[in-house]
Amino acid sequence: MHSTATPATPATPATPAATAATPVTAVTATHCPYCALQCGMGLTAGPSGGVEVVERAAFPVNKGALCGKGRTAPALLSSRVRLTEPLVRSHATGKLAPATWEEALDRIAGELSRVRTEHGADACGVFGGGGLTNEKAYALGKFARVVLGTSQIDYNGRFCMSSAAAAGQRAFGLDRGLPFPLEDIPRTGCVILVGSNLAETMPPALRYLTELRENGGTLIVVDPRRTRTAEQADLHLAPRPGTDLALALGLLHLVVAEGRTHEEFIEERTSGWEEARAATMAHWPEYVERITGVPVPQLRETVRMFCEAETSMVLTARGPEQQSKGTDTVGAWINLCLATGRAGRPLSGYGCLTGQGNGQGGREHGQKADQLPGYRKLTDPAARAHVAGVWGVDPDALPGPGRSAYELLDALGGEVKTLLLMGSNPVVSAPRAAHVEERLRSLDFLAVADVVLSETAELADVVLPVTQWAEETGTVTNLEGRVLLRRRAVSAPAGVRSDLEVLHGLAARLGHEKGFPVDPEEVFEELRRASAGGPADYSGISYERLREGDGEGVFWPCPDADSDVPEPAPGVPGPAPGILEPAPNVPEAAPGADVSVGAAVAPHPGTPRLFLEGFATEDGRARFVPVVHRAAAEETDAEYPVLLTTGRVLARYQSGAQTRRVDELNSAAPGPFVELHPRLAARLGIADGEAVAVVSRRGRAVAPARVTSSIRSDTVFMPFHWPGEGRANSLTHPALDPISRMPEFKVCAVRLERAERV
C-alpha cells in the first residue's frame, strides 16, 4: 500500500522561545503536556514575542518545579516543527502533499465508509493515545462505537499501567493509580519503589522521596540498574529482569515465617488469605535468591525495614508491570501490603506511578477495548444501558469488547483493513516494532491525527494537523486521580484544527450530524452524565469547579450530590459511604442552617484517599490472589545469552516524536545507547563508545556502548525513544499478560555483537 513517505514538513529542531500564532498577554495557569504528574506551570509572552514558561508555585504536585521537558515544551508550538496543514498521499506519485481540510476529511470518511460496507464494521480500527484529554478520549470511544460501530478500539495506554490496573481491580475492586495523594508519601515510614526511576522519568516527584528520608523514613528501590533514583535509596535490590514476582513472593514468605503478618487486619478486612499464603510458602529465601540474584540478607533487611516502620507503602511502575506476568507480579506486591496491614490505612498502601500524561483518564472514559465511560465494563448490561441512554442509541447496537492494543496492531492488514490513529507513534513505541510497521504498511488505508509528522504519520494516507496542549482547553486526570483543567493559552496556527473538530467533521460525513460537539466543555458535560454512578464518577466535577480557586483540581470519584442517577448495578463498585474518604477540611453546616430535604446540597468534595474504611468490592473486603513465580516468556540460552531491558532517559518522553524536535533536549540526549557492565564488555571485547549490535529473535538494533558498573553483568539496557537503526523496540517481545494484555517490554533474550558503525 504505502511507498516511502516524503515529509512535507521537515522536523527542524526548535528553540524554547518558539513563536506561537497568538502569544499570551498575561500568565495563563495550565499544566505540562508530558507525564502523569501534570505539573502546574504558567505561560506568558516572552520578551521576543514567543511563549515562555513561568513558575506556578501554588500547584501542590510540583510546587513550581519543572524538568527540562516541561520547561522547553513551548518549543513544540513553533510552526517550524509541527504540522500546519493536512497532507494527503497522491495516487499518482505515492507521496504526501498538502491538501484542504475538506479533501482530507472526505478521503478519510470515504475510505471508512467503503471498508465498513465491504468488510463490516470491525474492519475499521481506531487507535488512541494516553496524551489525549478526557474529552478527546471520550469522543474517540463514542465515535468508534456509535459512528463506526466497531469493537476494534484500544490505545497506547495499554502499554503503560494496564497490569497494575488489572491487579488493582482484582484486589481492591477499583483501579486508580494512587489511592492517596502524593503528599502522603513523605509522611509514611518506608517506601518500596519497584521498577521506577523517578529521577529521570518524573524528576519533580523525586522531592517526595527526598522529603521521606529527611523525615526519618526509609527508601528501598528495586531495579536491575543502579539508577539516579536507586542512588538515593537506603537499600537497593537489583534483581534479574523478569523476576520481580519471585522477589515479592520471597518477601511475603519471610513476613509469614517471621510472624510479621497483621492477623487482625487480615481477618477483618480481607478474603482469600489461606490460599495466597499456601502459594507463597513455596518461595523460600534461598530459592528466591537463586532466581533473582538478590542475597537473602537483603531480603531479610527489606522485610525488617518495611514491617518495623509504623506505616509503609509499595509503589510500582513499568518495571514489574511491563511483563507477560505483570498482573500477577503487581498482585504479589499487593498481597505483601495486605498481609502486613499496609493497605486501606492512612499513610500506607499500594500505588502505581502512572506514566503517560492522561493515562489514567484515557482509559476511564472509553478508549480501552473493554471499557465504557466512567470505567464501566463493556460486558455489563447495566453499564451498556446507562451509556447508551446518554448517547441516545440502543444498548444492543453497541459492539462488544475488541482486541487489545498489540493484538489490534497485529491484526492490521488482515481482519482490520483501515485505521484511524490519534496521538500515538507505534512505529517506535510498540513491541516487535518492525512487524508493527509492516502491518501498518499493509493496511488498505491509514489516517493519522497528530501534532508532528511522526514516524507513524509518515506512513499514512492522510495526516491531519491537530492542536496541542497550550492551544486547547480540556481536562486531564493525573496519577493521583486528580482531575485538572488545562487552559488554552495561545491560538493554533491557521490550518490546524482540534481532534474534537476532526471527529465532528468525520461523524457528520458518516451520517451523524449531532452528538459530536467541538466545544470541550460541552463534551465534558456529556462525559459527566455518562460517568455518573460508575466507578470513575466525574458527575460532580464541572469546568466551573475546576476554574475555581488556585486550580488544584478535584479527585474522583466525585458524584453529583444533586444527581438522581440510580445506584450502581450489583458488582459495579461505586462511591458508597464508608468506602471512600472525602477531601479533608470540608466545613460542616453552620448552626441553624437548613439541611432539610429540598435545601441546596453541598457539592461532593472529591475523594483524595480511597479504601480507609472498606474496599470497593461487593463485601468491602480486599481480595488476596494466590500467585506463583513463573519464568519470562523468553529465557536466555547459548544463542541469546544476555537479557535486555528497556526504559526512558531524562531528556526524552515516550517515542520521542516531540522531544526529538527540541534543541536543548537533543543536546542532552543526542541518540540511543546500549548500557552494559564492564565484565560483559570485556568478555565481548567492546569498548565504551564503540558501536554495538543488539540482536534478538525479532530484530537488530545498533547504538554506541555505554560501559558502566551500574547495571547487572547479565543485563543490557536500551532507551526506547528513537527510530531507525537504534530502535530498541525492534528487539522487544510481544508476549502478552493473559489478563491485562500488556506486552513484555521489560525482558527478552539477546546477544551482542561488535558493529561496524552506528
For 105-155, how does the pLDDT look when each residue is reduced to its tens digit (9 = 90+)?
999 999 999 999 999 999 999 999 999 999 999 999 999 999 999 999 999
Cis check for the bond before 603: say yes or no (omega within 30 of 0).
no
The rounded distance, in Å, linking the Cα atoms of 127 and 457 is 13
pLDDT the model gives residue 570: 34
Lowest-confidence pick of 60-74, 498-512, 567-581, 739-753 = 567-581
Pairing assessment for the beta strands 700-707 and 691-695 based on DSSP bridges: antiparallel
The rounded distance, in Å, linking the Cα atoms of 692 and 701 is 8
Asked if 357 and 128 touch (Cβ cutoff 8 Å), the reply is no
Phi (first) and psi of residue 107, to 5 degrees? -65, -45
pLDDT the model gives residue 22: 53
- Listed in sequence order, the residues at least 6 apart from 587 whose beta carbon sits closer than 8 Å to its beta carbon are none
For range 687-716, the mean pLDDT: 97
Q: Please state, for a pLDDT cut of 70, what percent of the chain lies above it.
A: 91
Element (H, E) at 429: helix 426-429
pLDDT the model gives residue 46: 79
Please, which pLDDT band fits residue 757 given cuts at 50, 70 and 90? low
Q: How many Cα atoms within 13 Å fall on the side-chain side of residue 309?
A: 28
Q: Which residues pair with 45 in a beta bridge?
A: 51
Domains in the chain, CATH or no CATH each = 87-160+358-531 (3.40.50.740), 162-352 (3.40.228.10), 642-754 (2.40.40.20)
Please, which pLDDT band fits residue 311 given cuts at 50, 70 and 90? very high
The rounded distance, in Å, linking the Cα atoms of 434 and 729 is 8
Higher pLDDT: 2 or 510? It is 510
- Listed in sequence order, the residues at least 6 apart from 478 whose beta carbon sits closer than 8 Å to its beta carbon are 36, 37, 38, 61, 354, 360, 484, 553
pLDDT the model gives residue 600: 58
For the cut 90, the answer to whether the pLDDT of residue 459 exceeds it is yes
pLDDT the model gives residue 82: 94
User: pTM above the 0.75 mark?
Assistant: yes
pLDDT the model gives residue 171: 98
pLDDT digits (tens, 9 = 90+) for 239-287: 999 999 999 999 999 999 999 999 999 999 999 999 999 999 999 999 9
Cell numbers that stand for 311 in this block? 506505616
Higher pLDDT: 2 or 623? It is 623
Around Cβ 458, how many Cβ atoms within 10 Å? 19
Asked if 132 and 427 touch (Cβ cutoff 8 Å), the reply is no
The rounded distance, in Å, linking the Cα atoms of 194 and 314 is 7
Residue type present at position 253: H
Phi (first) and psi of residue 468, to 5 degrees? -125, 180
For range 621-635, the mean pLDDT: 97
Q: Of how many residues is the chain composed? A: 758
Q: How far is CA 622 from the centre of its chain?
A: 24
pLDDT the model gives residue 5: 38
pLDDT the model gives residue 576: 36
For range 668-676, the mean pLDDT: 97
Please, which pLDDT band fits residue 87 given cuts at 50, 70 and 90? very high
Q: What secondary structure does DSSP assign to 95-136, as a single string?
A: SEEE--HHHHHHHHHHHHHHHHHHH-GGGEEEEE-TTS-HHH
**618 to 289, 382, 428, 567: CA distances (angstroms):** 38, 16, 42, 13
Residue linked to cell 493521583: 480
Phi (first) and psi of residue 754, to 5 degrees? -70, 140
Element (H, E) at 528: helix 520-531
